[in-house]
A and B are shown apart, each in its own frame.
Chain A
Amino acid sequence: MRIVLGVACCLIAGRYLWYGAVVSARSGSPYAAIGVVIPCAIAVAIVRHRFPARQLHVHDRHVDVITGVILTMLVVALALLFTSRLGYAASMLRLDFLVSPLWIAAVISILFGMRAVLAQLPSLWVLTALWPFPYIVISAHLPVGVLRWVIISWTFSLTVAALTRSRLWRKVVLGTVGIVAGIAWCAVAPLPPLAPVVSAVLVAAVAAALRIPWVWRDTTALPVTAHTLAVPRAWAGLVLLAISFGLAAIPGEALVVSTTALDRDPGRGCPPISGQLIRSARFGGGPDRVGGDWDTRRCVYLVNDGGGLRTIAVDVTTPVTVPELGAFPDPAVLEGPGRLDPTDRTGTVLGADASIFIWSDPLVPSELTDIVFYTDAGNEEWRRVRVLVPDDRTGDVRYPRPDPKPLQAALSRVAIVFRTQQEQLRTFAVVPKDVRVGLGYAREVAGSWEQR
């Protein structure tokens, strides 16, 4: 029964495996590297199966099921959060990506047992390496062109480290060495595509120098018997694969899995919109909304819209880029009298009499402390002109409701800053005469907003 289930998962997920990998790779997105992680995880899973580490004959179905159920509950809780609203901390830490390995662990635990999960931990580590908090930090300091090689370097390093027969901390150290080497190579060397090879070779060399054996040299492994769950372990690797892409196969509205949109144009921020459900009608293939001409777009999101995990590119100059504000419901308004200059890629143009609606709902109101409007009055000197305190926008911060606040855009140029308790700010700018709508972080407003 378990094997049938595993096969079914693989068959169902097959399409999405192909679709996700191909679309992601074709898009040219740095996120295409995510596709590399899965084969690496599978490779580790298979190797771990063929060369099992010390395997104990201690099993417990209670533990299997309890662990699986707890993990599943965790996944469901996280998934529910991501499909509704996500706090800023979770957005920044990319907790969304944890859903995938957690779910895989839950399924393996329930189907094949906790022992199989433990045996496949390296695979899960590789998957967990998708947790790209450091990625966010580093990506902000690296040219876009080398990002994908940095990511692949990470994956290669962690994979090679996972294949060593050593303690966890050694694997972590080895992997870190490779990661640092990959980043350094990308930063200084002329050929970034060589970074993954360099980092992998370096990790292997360090392991060899320290005489750390590889898993296939493991002579202390106990013989595989029927009790060691040998067959389930093999299937665990396949289920790992299946579930990874099964995750991407959930039909429905597009779920933005990414929290950090990549900026194709240096100097331009993109809105973090993780966890927002975006209607398929918007992101589901409209020629002027999604995908297509990559080079003319600026922001890149990783989405799950039922067609597999894939990246999409979004032009910040279109209203669709501000779904989290829910603020520009009518493109006709945004593209009013002073409509968008097709040659101007810096912002959406609004008429001078355009009204701007601000809905606090999608901004995690419990974190929002005030809304500040800035204007440069046309002279590039930013000045605070209005503050809306929480009471002004909603009566109960824990029960957010759409609460449109029209603001007549009479100023010459406005930057609106949403200030949160963590001082993490989100902004967009409006220029009423030829209004430009963009999104970014408030820090940029204070510092380099003029670049816009």
Chain B
Amino acid sequence: MIDADRLAWSIDALADANPELSARRVLSRAQVVTMLVVFAVVAAIAFFAPRTTAIVAIATITVVYASISAFRFWLFLVGLRRGSTVFVTDEDALAIPDDELPVYTVLLPAYREPDIVIELVTGIGNLDYPRDKLDVRVLLEADDDETVAAARAIRELEDWATVELVPPSEPRTKPKACNWGLATARGEFVTIYDAEDVPEPLQLRRAVVAFRRLGPSVSCLQARLGYHNYRQNLLTRFFGIEYDTWFTNLLPGLAALGVPLPLGGTSNHLRTDVLRAVHGWDPYNVTEDADLGIRLNRLGYHSAVLHSMTLEEANSDVINWVKQRSRWEKGYLQTGLVHLRSPRRLVRELGWKGALGFLLLIPGTPTLAIVNAVMWSIALLWWLGTPVAIADLYPETLLHISLAVTVFGGAATIYVSLVVVAREEQPVQALLCLLLPLYWLLMTVAACKALIQLITAPSYWEKTTHGLDRPPG
């Protein structure tokens, strides 16, 4: 494949083959028309009956908040009782002779991270997998001179990895770089790690065993992500609690329910042929991983959760965190809009349960971040000063329901976190769970930013700075 074709495939394969599932356009024409009609109707009603409209809007927000909160709590309970995770013991993982192991492609995209790329050796280099069966590709942007120079300066890389330069082009996103690597991948399976990731050494072997055990219907395995620096500060601890909840309860819960898994950004292992068949990652979607999980499910493939840990760096800086989280929230909104272009088709392909789960989880997550702030603000204002404005907008029944939903929703989230940290035997973290409302504030800021960027720069990749877990210099 010549570079021009390879680049074209990396960027437009999905959009050309299946435009309805691509985020190249954020909104379809039908969605634009629908939104305009809804807006016009609501505006007209609000003009003639503003109070009634506001009450209906508040009631709707309350129902949305209650639904998302209840779903997440239910997911937690399911994950707690019968969460579905694939276990592969060390013995099973090591039982496969090296010559029977398939070639495994490892994609390592990096951008403007000259300091971090040096860690590839310590992270990926420790994988217990025959070197000759590893197809490691360090994917760098061709015009990212510093990172390219840093990667080329690592002598050890030459033995077992290929540094590939992605020609400068838009959109400048991680999935585009991954598609570039996927286009010529040699492996039967493919996985992605970030440069600073430290996967558990047996992870690839476990994935191979799991794929063989589960059969061809399972096309993707998501390994668990954890943080090596969760003790660094309050933010990393919150991050750790959130990820523990996500990977130990919510994802296994989703898997048990058969709801499509929104994959994580790294450590997802895929069958290369399937991935190519679905045209790789969507380079216009800034949470291409979550989108891929949904798309695979819609096209008849399944995902599972693999019991194997990859350690990452938890984001320890507030601004950096908001940038990263806003990209995730924007990506979830993008993914929601893409897959809701044809709701009937979505229901047909995912089933009612899957579609509802998708709705409550994918667009539901950023929605919850914003609605949560609205609900709590109103509740606090009411408790502090019983403003007449709020009294005007809330009939008594609605007020009580709304306050109850807010309190129980918040309490449920804290309770879930408490259970998770108790299970993880981190008693000190338990106290921090009570401070989670502070974390919710950050989520709201991130969701606001995501919403703004969804309109102004939908495919802009908000870069996360890594390497903040070590002393400066």
A interface vs B, CB < 8 Å?
A: 54, 56, 58-60, 62-63, 66-67, 70, 74, 77-78, 80-81, 84-87, 89-90, 95, 114-115, 118, 167-168, 220-222, 275, 364, 366-367, 398-399
Contact = CB atoms under 8 A, between A and B. Distances in A.
Nearest to B385: A81
Nearest to B323: A60
A70 B447 CA distance: 13
Contacts of B322: 60, 63
A66 B449 contact: yes
A86 B386 CA distance: 8
Nearest to B316: A56
B388 A399 contact: yes
Interface of B: 233-234, 317-320, 322-323, 326, 377, 381, 383-388, 391, 444-445, 448-449, 452-453, 465, 468, 471-473
Nearest to A275: B385
Given A58-B319, A115-B319, A67 B384 contact: no
| Interface-central residue, A58, A115, A221, by most chain B CB under 10 Å | A58
Nearest to B462: A60
A56 B465 CA distance: 10
B365 to A, nearest CB: 18
Contact of A220 (B319, B448, B472): B472
Contact of A56 (B320, B383, B384): B320
Contact of A66 (B384, B448, B473): B448
A85 B319 contact: no
B280 to A, nearest CB: 30
Contacts of B320: 56, 58
A366 B399 CA distance: 14
A99 B354 CA distance: 46
Nearest to B384: A90
17 contacts: A56-B317, A62-B326, A63-B322, A66-B448, A70-B444, A70-B445, A81-B384, A81-B385, A81-B387, A84-B387, A89-B383, A114-B318, A115-B319, A118-B318, A167-B233, A220-B472, A366-B386
Nearest to B318: A118
A366 B452 CA distance: 39
- Scoring A66, A115, A167 by chain B CB atoms within 10 A of each residue's CB, the highest score goes to A66
Nearest to B322: A63
Contacts of A168: 234
A80 B381 CA distance: 10
A77 B386 contact: no
A66 B322 CA distance: 11
Nearest to A169: B234
Given A70-B444, A114-B319, A115-B319, A63 B449 contact: yes
A178 B234 CA distance: 24
Contacts of A66: 445, 448-449, 452
B381 A81 contact: yes
A56 to B, nearest CB: 6
Contact of B317 (A58, A80, A221, A222): A58
Contact of B386 (A56, A80, A85): A85
Contacts of B319: 56, 58-60, 63, 114-115, 118
B388 A398 contact: yes
Nearest to A67: B445
Contacts of B448: 66, 70
B373 to A, nearest CB: 8
Contacts of A220: 471-473
A368 to B, nearest CB: 11
